Structures are given as structure tokens and as C-alpha cells.
């Protein structure tokens, strides 16, 4: 095989285009042969391997040549890069927060808060957080690299993030309909953590069957919440439909939290629950049970208050926007 053919093959291997690869190779070979022939004529010598080597050196390495033809010289292009950054932040933040909370709960419930067991759980927890973050980041990059190459139009452009911004808005009061991205991202993160906890992705030996009866209902609300928040991140403003969804969701959450508050025995305590409490601890089994039951009541009351505030905001927003129109 001639040196030029081998060179063209090497360029071909590095081409990232799916269509027209053979065309590019054929055209490159033809050009190189033209150039070689011209050099031979100029020097009045037949073309030889030394001449080919000199020509190919000047033409550039196969990597360089292939790069000039590649339409995507980047893994994730400018078209979807802003969305990639938003999703990456959400994923990394929610993973770190979720796993940190789980680690703290494990430290409290499964270790005497000192000694080798404590250090082991802490070390394993930090190690898990680090490796999970790397995996999560890898999956996000992989997903976006695939989207970059397979989805021609996401309906999102760079302009959605930058150029549609109106400088005139700086002079105005912020619109009551505009969403607060920070709040939405925080809400997504905490809802993910909530989902992980109530679905017992991490083992908690205290949830009773009474508690588990509520889980499917809470899941529906939490998943709706996440989907609504992602939609709002994209849309950037509240409208009647999104406010109605929010109102239905918050009413549902308040109702569930209220019923749960009235339901006895949401938590169950076994000998297994208390095995990590040191024998000489001033907090005995009864004390631990009382604190746990009080904590879940407080958590449910907080949920009712937060949901009521969000419900109030949605109702007032809906009323205001309808009055304007």
C-alpha cells in the first residue's frame, strides 16, 4: 500500500462525520496525488517515497487534517452548553446534599458518635460521595454528548439563555410572574432528597407500614413537583396552568401531611433501632422514641406551613394575573 493511501486511511479513521466519509477520503487522495505529481514535474524526477514523506509532512498530521472536517470539534457544543451547566449543577448539588444528609443520619443512628465505627462510617460516606459525584458527572456528560450528536433541535437555543434577555427589564420591578431559579433548583434538590428518604433508598429501620401507606401519594406529588420545577426553569414565568398545578399539588401535600399528623405509629421501634445507643447514654430507648416521634410531628407541621405559604403565593399570583388580564 502506498504511503498516501495509508495516510488517507489514517485520516478516515479519525473523521467523526457519518456521511460523506468516502467522499472526503477520495478527494484527499486525489489532491495529494495532484500535489505529488506537480512536485515531480517541478524537480523533473519521478515521484518517490521521500517526496511523498516530504509532502505528507507539509500537509499535516492525520489528526490535524481530520479535525478540519469534523463538524463537532467539541464534546458538548455551545447550543446545549448552558442547559448542560444548569443540569450539572442540579445533579452535583442534589447528590452531595442527599448523600451528606444520609451520611449524617447514619452517623447518628448507627454509631456511638465516636471511635472506629464512627470514623469508618464517616470515611466510607465521604468516599461514596466522591465516587458518586464522579459517576454522576460522567453520566451527565455522556447524556449531553449523545444529545449533541443525535438530537438536531432541542427547542432550546443559546439565545434562550442570553440574547432574549431584555436590558429594559433592569429598570423595572421584577415581574411577579417571573420564577426564581435559585428557589426552583433548591426545591428540586430537596425534593430528590425527600424522595430518596421516604422510599428508603437508604435503609432506615424506623418507618412503619402505616407510614409506607402514604408513600405512593407523596411520590406522585414529589415527582409532579420536580417536573413542574424543571418546566418552570425552562419557561421562566408562571402562568395560569402552572399555578393551578401548584395549587392542586400544595392542597394535596397539606391534606396528606395533616392526615399523617393524625395517624399514630408512623414510626416503629425494634431492638435493632436501639442497638447503637450506648448503654451508659443518658438518652435511653424511651427518650430516643420520644425525640423521634416529636421530630416527625415537627417535620409534618413544617411541611404544612411551607406548603400553605406556597399555596398562598400561587393563589395570590393567580388572582393578580387574572385581575390584570
Between 31 and 131, CB nearer to other proteins: 31
Q: Count of alpha carbons within 13 Å of 155, Cβ hemisphere only? A: 2
Between 70 and 265, CB nearer to other proteins: 70
Is residue 312 part of the contact set for other proteins (CB under 8 A)?
no
Between 59 and 190, CB nearer to other proteins: 59
Candidates 35, 198, 248, 308: give the one binding other proteins (CB under 8 A): 35
Is residue 40 part of the contact set for other proteins (CB under 8 A)?
no
Is residue 138 part of the contact set for other proteins (CB under 8 A)?
no
Q: How many residues bind other proteins (CB under 8 A)?
A: 17
Contact 177, 232 (CB under 8 A): no
Between 30 and 265, CB nearer to other proteins: 30
User: Between residue 41 and residue 60, which ones bind other proteins under the rule CB under 8 A?
Assistant: 59-60
Minimum gap (Å) between residue 69 Cβ and other proteins: 5
Is residue 10 part of the contact set for other proteins (CB under 8 A)?
no
**Rounded Cα distance, 282 and 262, in Å:** 30
Binding region for other proteins (CB under 8 A) out of 64-72, 214-222, 230-238, 255-263? 64-72
Closest CA to 277 of 205, 210, 211, 209: 205
- Beta-ladder partners of 178: 237
Longest dimension (CA), the chain: 102
Q: Can you spell out the DSSP letters for 199-213?
A: TTSS--TTB-HHHHH
**Rounded Cα distance, 195 and 186, in Å:** 14
Is residue 23 part of the contact set for other proteins (CB under 8 A)?
yes
**Rounded Cα distance, 283 and 288, in Å:** 6
Between 31 and 124, CB nearer to other proteins: 31
Is residue 64 part of the contact set for other proteins (CB under 8 A)?
yes
Q: Which three cell numbers stand for residue 159?
A: 439565545
Query: What 3-state class would DSSP assign to 11?
Result: helix
Is residue 5 part of the contact set for other proteins (CB under 8 A)?
no
Contact 267, 296 (CB under 8 A): yes
Is residue 28 part of the contact set for other proteins (CB under 8 A)?
yes
Binding residues for other proteins, rule: CB under 8 A, are 20, 23-24, 26-28, 30-31, 33-35, 59-60, 64-65, 68-69
Amino acid at each position: 500500500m502506498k504511503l498516501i493511501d495509508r495516510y488517507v486511511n489514517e485520516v478516515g479513521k479519525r473523521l467523526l462525520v457519518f456521511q460523506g466519509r468516502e467522499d472526503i477520503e477520495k478527494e484527499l487522495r486525489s489532491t495529494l496525488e495532484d500535489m505529488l505529481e506537480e512536485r515531480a514535474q517541478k524537480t523533473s524526477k519521478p515521484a518517490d517515497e521521500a517526496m511523498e514523506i516530504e509532502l505528507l509532512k507539509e500537509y499535516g498530521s492525520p489528526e490535524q487534517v481530520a479535525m478540519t472536517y469534523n463538524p463537532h470539534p467539541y464534546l458538548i457544543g455551545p447550543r446545549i452548553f448552558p442547559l448542560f451547566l444548569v443540569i450539572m449543577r442540579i445533579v452535583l448539588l442534589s447528590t452531595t446534599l442527599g448523600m451528606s444528609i444520609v451520611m449524617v443520619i447514619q452517623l447518628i443512628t448507627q454509631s456511638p458518635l465516636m471511635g472506629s465505627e464512627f470514623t469508618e462510617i464517616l470515611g466510607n460516606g465521604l468516599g461514596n460521595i466522591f465516587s458518586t459525584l464522579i459517576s454522576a458527572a460522567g453520566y451527565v456528560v455522556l447524556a449531553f454528548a449523545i444529545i449533541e450528536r443525535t438530537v438536531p433541535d432541542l427547542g432550546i437555543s443559546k439565545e434562550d439563555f442570553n440574547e432574549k434577555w431584555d436590558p429594559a427589564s433592569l429598570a423595572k420591578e421584577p415581574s411577579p410572574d417571573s420564577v426564581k431559579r435559585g428557589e426552583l433548583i433548591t426545591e428540586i434538590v430537596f425534593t430528590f432528597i425527600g424522595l430518596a428518604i421516604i422510599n428508603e433508598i437508604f435503609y432506615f429501620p424506623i418507618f412503619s407500614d402505616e407510614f409506607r401507606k402514604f408513600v405512593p401519594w407523596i411520590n406522585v406529588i414529589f415527582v409532579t413537583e420536580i417536573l413542574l420545577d424543571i418546566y418552570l426553569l425552562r419557561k421562566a414565568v408562571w402562568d395560569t396552568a402552572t399555578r393551578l398545578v401548584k395549587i392542586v399539588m400544595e392542597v394535596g401535600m397539606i391534606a396528606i401531611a395533616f392526615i399523617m399528623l393524625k395517624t399514630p405509629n408512623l414510626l416503629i421501634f425494634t431492638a435493632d433501632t436501639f442497638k447503637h445507643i450506648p448503654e451508659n447514654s443518658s438518652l435511653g430507648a424511651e427518650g430516643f422514641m420520644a425525640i423521634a416521634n416529636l421530630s416527625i410531628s415537627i417535620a409534618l407541621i413544617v411541611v404544612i406551613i411551607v406548603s400553605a405559604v406556597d399555596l398562598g403565593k400561587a393563589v395570590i399570583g393567580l388572582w393578580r394575573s387574572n385581575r390584570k388580564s
